[in-house]
């Protein structure tokens, strides 16, 4: 019995040595910090379990029965905490696959995005939950399994930051009106600091004839997701100002009340 008591403490410093070696090994490998901490904790629990079971065997305790009993307890806990287990597994996949990282802007799940705006910036990635600050300023703690059920849209992935913005408008269907509008739009694009020329320079496309207009689409790239909305707002404001100054007209539907005294010739009928 005394020999067993003497041998039991010897395993404790051994745990510290093994954990220190593991930490050094992980530091030399390109592991994600969250995954590294998770593996470190799991290894620590496994080592302590091994030491305790070894000591129990030295004391003559039936280790096999103890392991089976612990297995049943673990299974019961797993069923009771099934939701937590699913989130932890999803968190491991997020850490390994890296569909997004802290600081990047993503599209929020549909059931959350409709309430707290569609986009958000990732502030923390944990094993069970991920925290995202929406563009409305709301800090959301999202269970990881919600972020792995559907495709994840990452608007600021570090390997490819450029994003395309589209603006559509309807122009009065005359040659002079449409060509003048093209000149103005191209000039606005060439003089906006947030618009980049890669992977493609800005372009103006006439998509075809609408019911009462020529449909124009403006396409340009920005190098950061946070510039999409401000640049679009600026573009729309400049279009309205320049079109009004230079006599370019946007098309709009005409509604005629046939019971009123209206001169149809003046409307082109």
What pLDDT digit, counting tens, does each position of 189-244 carry? 888 888 888 888 888 888 888 777 888 898 888 887 788 888 889 889 999 999 99
Q: Please give the C-alpha separations between residue 240 and each of 107, 188, 244, in angstroms, as whole numbers.
A: 30, 11, 6
In which residue ranges of the chain is CATH 3.30.70.100 found?
163-246
CATH code for the part of the protein at 97-147: 2.30.30.60
Cis omega before residue 199 (within 30°)?
Answer: yes
Query: Do residues 100 and 148 touch, judged by C-beta distance below 8 A?
Result: no
Q: Is the pLDDT of residue 131 over 80?
A: yes
Q: Please give the C-alpha separations between residue 216 and each of 182, 194, 207, in angstroms, as whole numbers.
A: 9, 21, 6
Report pLDDT for 1: 44
pTM of the model: 0.54
Banded pLDDT at 16 (limits 50, 70, 90): low
* Ranges 10-14, 40-44, 108-112, most confident: 108-112
The residue among 128 and 18 whose pLDDT is bigger is 128
CATH code for the part of the protein at 163-246: 3.30.70.100
Q: Does residue 87 sit in helix, strand or coil?
A: helix
Average pLDDT for 248-269 = 62
Report pLDDT for 195: 83
Q: What are phi and psi of 196, to 5 degrees?
A: -110, 160
Sequence-separated (6 or more) residues with CB below 8 Å from residue 166: 217, 218, 219
Tokens of 54: 């070894």
Q: Is the pLDDT of residue 31 over 80?
A: no
Query: Do residues 106 and 119 touch, judged by C-beta distance below 8 A?
Result: yes
pLDDT in tens, 143-196: 888 888 877 787 776 666 678 889 898 888 889 999 999 999 988 888 888 888
Report the alpha-carbon distance of residue 50 to residue 83 in Å, rounded.
28
In which residue ranges of the chain is CATH 2.30.30.60 found?
97-147
Q: Where are the beta strands (DSSP E) in 144-227?
A: 163-171, 195-196, 203-209, 214-222
pLDDT in tens, 77-121: 555 556 777 888 888 888 777 888 888 888 887 767 667 778 888
Q: Which of 169, 176, 170 is nearest to 235 (CA)?
A: 169
Q: Is the pLDDT of residue 2 over 50?
A: no
């Amino acid at each position: 019995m005394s020999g067993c008591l003497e041998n039991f403490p010897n395993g404790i410093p051994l745990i510290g040595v093994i954990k220190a070696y593991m930490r050094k090994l992980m530091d030399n490998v390109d592991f994600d910090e969250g995954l590294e901490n998770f593996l470190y904790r799991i290894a620590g629990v496994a080592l302590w379990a091994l030491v305790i079971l070894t000591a129990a065997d030295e004391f003559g305790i039936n280790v096999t029965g103890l392991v089976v009993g612990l297995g049943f307890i673990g299974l019961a806990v797993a069923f009771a905490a099934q939701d937590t287990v699913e989130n932890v597994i999803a968190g491991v996949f997020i850490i390994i696959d890296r569909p997004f990282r802290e600081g990047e802007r993503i599209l929020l799940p549909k059931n959350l995005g409709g309430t707290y705006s569609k986009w958000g910036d990732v502030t923390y990635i944990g094993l069970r939950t991920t925290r995202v600050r929406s563009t409305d300023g709301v800090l959301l703690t999202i269970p990881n399994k919600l972020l792995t059920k559907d495709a994840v849209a990452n608007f600021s992935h570090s390997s490819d930051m450029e994003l395309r913005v589209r603006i559509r408008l309807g122009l009065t269907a005359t040659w002079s009106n449409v060509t003048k509008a093209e000149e103005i739009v191209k000039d606005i694009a060439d003089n906006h600091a947030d618009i980049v020329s890669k992977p493609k320079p800005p372009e103006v496309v006439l998509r075809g004839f609408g019911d009462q207009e020529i449909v124009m689409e403006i396409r340009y790239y920005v190098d950061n997701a946070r510039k999409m909305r401000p640049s679009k707002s600026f573009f729309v404001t400049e279009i309205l100002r320049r079109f009004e100054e230079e006599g370019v007209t946007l098309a709009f539907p005409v509604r005629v009340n046939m019971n009123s005294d209206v001169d149809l010739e003046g409307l082109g009928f």
